[in-house]
Amino acid sequence: MPEKIYLKFRNETGWKFFSALVAEALACLLLFAWRGRAFGGIRTLDEQWFYDPATVFGVLKDLDAIGKLPLYAVTEITLDLVFPVVYVALFVFLIVRLFPPRAGGYLLLAPLLAGAADLAENFSIAFLAFSGNPEIRPLALAVTVFSTSKWLLVYLSLLVTLGGAAFRLSGKISRT
């Protein structure tokens, strides 16, 4: 199954697709910067590597105090819905061009799982923000697990991509 995903992606995407992904990623980053300014320096949960349920409650409370909790909730299911799809597609694009199908198919799991964890984190945060009761402890704990998983898998994806580039440049691996 991973090899089928690998081959489908490799055969149906090109450098124009990659260029569009880079442009979309840059647009998302600009919108994140705008959101950060709108939040007056309050660091969102997405920006933090690891946090506990108390941090979840604190960030949501701080955003609510300045009237920005609805904006945060909406961006969690709009902007933060698009961005994981974009960065996962970027990693997948690079992995299918750096690794042969057998290895590459399995290496795709890191960015795909990172994206799944990111989406789970975003939907959970949005639910807490929209619920009117942001202190649902089990869900806040789940958010922390999703976030930590996301960041570990994103960094793993980055290492895989950089390692693949280094090995390809050195001639130690080929795409076939």
Q: Which amino acid is located at 72 in the chain?
A: Y
Residue 3 has a pLDDT of: 77
Give the dihedral of Cα atoms 144, 150, 152, 153; nearest 10 deg. 160
- Does 12 fall in a domain? yes
Residue 166 has a pLDDT of: 93
Residues 6+ apart with CB under 8 A from 72: 35, 39, 44, 60, 63, 125, 129
The per-residue pLDDT for range 89-147, each reduced to its tens digit, is 999 999 999 998 888 989 999 999 999 999 999 999 999 999 877 678 899 999 999 99
Q: Say which residue, 57 or 176, is predicted with more confidence.
A: 57
- Does 29 fall in a domain? yes
Asked if the model's pLDDT at residue 164 lies above 70, the reply is: yes
Residue 175 has a pLDDT of: 62
CA distances from 32 to 23, 75, 163, 168 (A): 14, 9, 28, 33
Note the pTM of the prediction, 2 decimals: 0.90
Residue 72 has a pLDDT of: 95
The per-residue pLDDT for range 9-51, each reduced to its tens digit, is 888 888 899 999 999 999 999 999 999 999 998 999 988 888 9
Residue 9 has a pLDDT of: 80
To the nearest 10 degrees (0 to 180), the angle between helices 109-131 and 69-76 is 150
| CA-based nearest residue to 119, from 87, 156, 141 | 87
Residue 94 has a pLDDT of: 94
Asked if the model's pLDDT at residue 176 lies above 70, the reply is: no
- Does 175 fall in a domain? no
Residue 39 has a pLDDT of: 95
Please give the tally of structural domains in the chain.
1
| CA-based nearest residue to 141, from 34, 77, 45 | 45
Domain that holds residue 16: 2-170
Asked if the model's pLDDT at residue 65 lies above 70, the reply is: yes
- Does 125 fall in a domain? yes
